[in-house]
Each structure stands twice: as C-alpha cells, then as structure tokens.
Amino acid sequence: MTRIRVVNQLIQQHSQGAYAMAVQMLRCKDDAQDVMQDACYALLRQARLPKDSSQFRMLLFKVVRNKVIDRVRAQKVRRSESWNEESVAANEQQNPETYWQQQQAQTSIKKALAALSLEHRDIILLKDWQGFSYAEIANILEIEAGTVMSRLHRARLALRQQMKLSEGES
C-alpha cells in the first residue's frame, strides 16, 4: 500500500473519536470539523507519520487537542459550560426502564464533568471515554508519565465530589 493510502485509512479509523473530543471541547460541530480539517492537513504534510495504529491515534489526538486549544485561546470561548442539557430526542430503545436510567446517569455525569476544571475533565475523558493508557495520556498532554496517575486520581475525586453535590441538591 502507498503511504497516502495507509494514512487515509488511519485517519478514517481514528478521526471520529478525535472529532467527538473536539466537539466536546469546542461545543460547536462546525468548529470541530474545521479543527479536524486543519489537523489532518497538518498531519498529511508531515514527512514521518507512525504507521502503527495506536501511535497514529495518539498523535492525532495530540494535534487535534492542541489545535482546539489554539482556537479557544483565539476566540476566548468559555468551555466550562460544555455538556449541559442535551435534547432527549434520542431514539427509543426496547427497554424504556434501562434507557431512562442510562439517560439519568449520563445527565448527572455530564453536569459533574462540566463543573470540573479543564485539566481534570480532559484527563478523565482521555482515559475513561477515549480509552487511552497512562503512557499515551502522558504523551498527548505532554506531561511526565509519573504524574498521570496522581492527576487522574485527583480529577476523579473532584468528579465524585461534584456527583455528591448534585445528589444532595436533587
């Protein structure tokens, strides 16, 4: 396979996940699409790209995340309000009971996540939503591998605190 075909296949494989992350961070599908476009263009121009799938995915997330941050800085968009109420127009499922329970869990976790600092939210999402390993997270966030566990743990404790707070309210 030619280089371009390999790269295209890798982009196809991993860009949906990166897009979801960008939408979550930017709160705008158009902006997220723009960022993806920029990121893929930047990647395609690089002379050396990892052919290994998970290496490529890590690099893609890193580039996308940096582009998102650049854009947010430029626009001064406030991101902390992301992930608030969402239209519950989602398709009906066979079991309304479980569906409703899931929706409720999703809403309260979303609210709690929205209340976290960007630093805490990002690391939780990279791990639990996108499934990166600690080593990969260290690479994406450009931090020491040794600090991932403690930062993630602090983030989760903060999330738990938020969940408890909102439970107390309702």
Closest contact distance (angstroms) between CB of 23 and another protein is 4
> In degrees to the nearest 10, what's the CA dihedral of 109, 110, 113, 114?
-150
Query: Which whole-number Å values give the CA distances from 107 to 53, 87, 137, in the listed order?
Result: 33, 11, 26
Sole window of 48-56, 91-99, 119-127 interacting with another protein (rule: CB under 8 A):
119-127
The span from the CA of 13 to the CA of 49, in Å, is 15
- Asked if 27 touches another protein (CB under 8 A), the answer is yes
Which one, 69 or 156, has the nearer CB to another protein?
156
Phi-psi region of 82 (alpha: psi -120 to 50; beta: other; left: phi over 0): beta
> Which residue, 29 or 51, is less far from another protein as judged by CB?
29
Task: Give which of 157, 24, 134 is closest to 81, Cα–Cα.
Answer: 24
**Which residues from 127-156 bind another protein, rule CB under 8 A?**
127-129, 131, 133-134, 149-150, 152-153, 156
Q: What value, to the nearest 5°, has the Cα angle with vertex 17 and ends 129 and 81?
A: 60
**Token pair for residue 137?**
């997270």
Q: How many CB atoms within 10 Å of residue 125?
A: 19
**Residue placing its CB nearer to another protein in the complex, 30 or 97:** 30
Query: Minimum distance from CB of 32 to another protein (Å)?
Result: 8
Residues 83-102 that bind another protein (CB under 8 A): 83-84, 86-87, 102
Under rule CB under 8 A, which residues in 48-67 are in contact with another protein?
A: none
- Output b/e per residue, 27-43; b: 16+ Cβ within 10 A: bbeebbeebbebbbeeb
Judged by CB, which is closer to another protein: 8, or 55? 8
List residues binding another protein (CB under 8 A). Answer: 8, 11-12, 15-17, 19-20, 23-24, 27-34, 36-38, 40-41, 82-84, 86-87, 102, 105-106, 108-110, 113, 124-125, 127-129, 131, 133-134, 149-150, 152-153, 156, 159-160, 163
